[in-house]
C-alpha cells in the first residue's frame, strides 16, 4: 500500500456502524514514561516504557433519526463500549487495512451543538480501557 | 447515494408552492419571467466516512423588466425571509426533500439587480442553497 488520503475510516460502536455520520477518527496509543535516571546517567534523564494507555477521538454529524448516532450515544454516557476502527479506507481487516478494537469509557456526549446556519456536529474523546487489539484479518 | 437530478427537481417543487412563480429544475435558454431556475454550483465530496456530500445550488429568480416599480416590489416579496411569496421559505418548506437528503438551508441571497437575457434587461436575484446528503 502507498500513502493514502483518508476517505473512509470504518467506525463502529457496540457493533453499530457509525461511519456515515463520522468525519474524523483518531486513535492514540501511548506508554507512560518511567524515570530511571541515576548517578550513572551522565547528566541526562533516562526513561523506560511503563503502562500503556489509549485515547479515541471522533467527530460526528448529529442525527436523531431512528438508530442514528445521536440516539446511539444518548444512553451510553458512563458505560463501557466497544469501538472498532478500520484504517486505510478499508471495510474489512487486512494487512493494509488493519482493524483496531478497544473498550472505551464513554465519559461524555454533546447532544446539542452548533451555531445558526452550521451543520450540527459533535466531538467525543474517550479513554480506552484494557488492551487495544490489532487485527489484520488473518 | 444522492441523485442530483432528483434534488434539483425537489428544490423546484418546493419553490413551486409560491403562487405565480414558474420554476425550472434546469437552466433554460428563453426563460419566461417570473421564473426560478435551479442550478448546481459545486459539490464537496467526502463530507463523512460514508461518502456524504455537500451540494451548493443557486436559484436565479427572474421577475421582469427592471425599470418597472411593480417588479421591484415583487422581487422584494420574493426576497423576504417569510411570507407566502418568500422564496427562502419555499425552498426550506420541505428541508429533507421528501427524504432525498439529510437537510438543506438557504443561507442568503446575492446578485440582486439587473441581468440581460436576449437583449432584454430583467430584475433578478440569486438564492444560495446548501444541501447535506
Residues of A in contact with B103 (CB under 8 A): 119
Of B47, B105, B107, the CB nearest to A23: B47
- Rounded to whole angstroms, how far apart are CA atoms A122 and A114? 8
- Global confidence as pTM: 0.87
CATH number at residue A103: 2.40.30
Of B49, B51, B132, the CB nearest to A9: B49
Domain, as residue range, for A62: 10-135
Does A3 reside within a domain?
A: no
Q: Is A76 part of any domain?
A: yes
Residue of B nearest to A65 (CA): B102
A112 assigned to some structural domain: yes
Measured in angstroms, the CA of A126 and the nearest CA of chain B are apart by 19
- Chain segment B18-52, per-residue pLDDT in tens: 999 999 999 888 888 999 999 999 999 999 999 99
**Residue A34 resides in a domain:** yes
Write down all domains in chain B, each with its CATH number in brackets: 4-132 (3.30.70.1700)
A21 → closest Cβ in B46, B48, B105:
B48
Residue A1 lies in a domain: no
Q: Is A23 on the interface with B (CB under 8 A)?
A: yes
User: What is the number of structural domains in chain A?
Assistant: 1
- What is the grid cell recorded at A58? 471522533
ipTM of the complex: 0.84
Mind listing the pLDDT tens digit for each residue in B56-108?
A: 999 999 998 877 788 999 999 999 999 999 999 999 999 999 999 999 999 99
Helices (H), A51-93: 69-74
Amino acid at each position: 500500500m502507498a500513502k493514502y488520503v483518508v476517505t473512509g475510516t470504518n467506525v463502529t460502536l457496540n457493533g453499530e456502524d457509525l461511519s456515515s455520520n463520522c468525519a474524523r477518527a483518531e486513535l492514540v496509543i501511548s506508554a507512560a514514561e518511567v524515570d530511571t535516571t541515576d548517578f550513572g546517567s551522565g547528566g541526562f534523564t533516562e526513561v523506560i516504557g511503563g503502562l500503556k494507555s489509549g485515547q479515541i477521538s471522533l467527530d460526528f454529524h448529529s442525527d436523531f433519526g431512528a438508530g442514528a448516532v445521536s440516539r446511539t450515544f444518548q444512553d451510553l454516557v458512563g458505560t463501557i463500549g466497544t469501538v472498532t476502527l478500520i484504517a486505510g479506507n478499508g471495510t474489512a481487516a487486512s494487512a493494509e487495512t488493519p482493524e483496531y478494537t478497544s473498550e472505551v469509557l464513554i465519559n461524555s456526549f454533546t447532544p446539542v451543538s452548533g451555531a445558526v446556519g452550521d451543520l450540527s456536529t459533535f466531538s467525543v474523546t474517550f479513554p480506552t480501557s484494557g488492551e487495544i487489539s490489532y487485527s489484520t484479518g488473518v | 447515494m444522492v441523485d442530483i437530478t432528483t434534488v434539483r427537481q425537489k428544490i423546484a417543487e418546493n419553490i413551486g408552492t409560491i403562487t405565480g412563480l414558474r420554476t425550472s429544475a434546469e437552466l433554460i435558454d428563453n426563460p419566461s419571467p417570473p421564473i426560478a431556475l435551479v442550478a448546481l454550483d459545486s459539490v464537496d465530496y467526502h463530507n463523512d466516512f460514508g461518502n456524504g456530500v455537500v451540494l451548493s445550488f443557486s436559484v436565479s429568480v427572474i421577475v421582469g423588466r427592471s425599470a418597472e416599480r411593480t417588479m421591484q416590489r415583487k422581487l422584494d416579496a420574493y426576497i423576504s425571509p417569510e411570507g407566502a411569496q418568500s422564496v427562502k421559505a419555499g425552498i426550506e418548506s420541505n428541508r429533507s426533500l421528501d427524504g432525498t437528503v439529510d437537510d438543506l438551508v438557504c443561507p442568503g441571497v446575492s446578485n440582486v439587480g439587473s441581468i440581460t437575457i436576449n437583449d432584454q434587461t430583467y430584475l433578478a436575484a440569486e438564492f444560495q442553497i446548501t444541501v447535506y446528503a
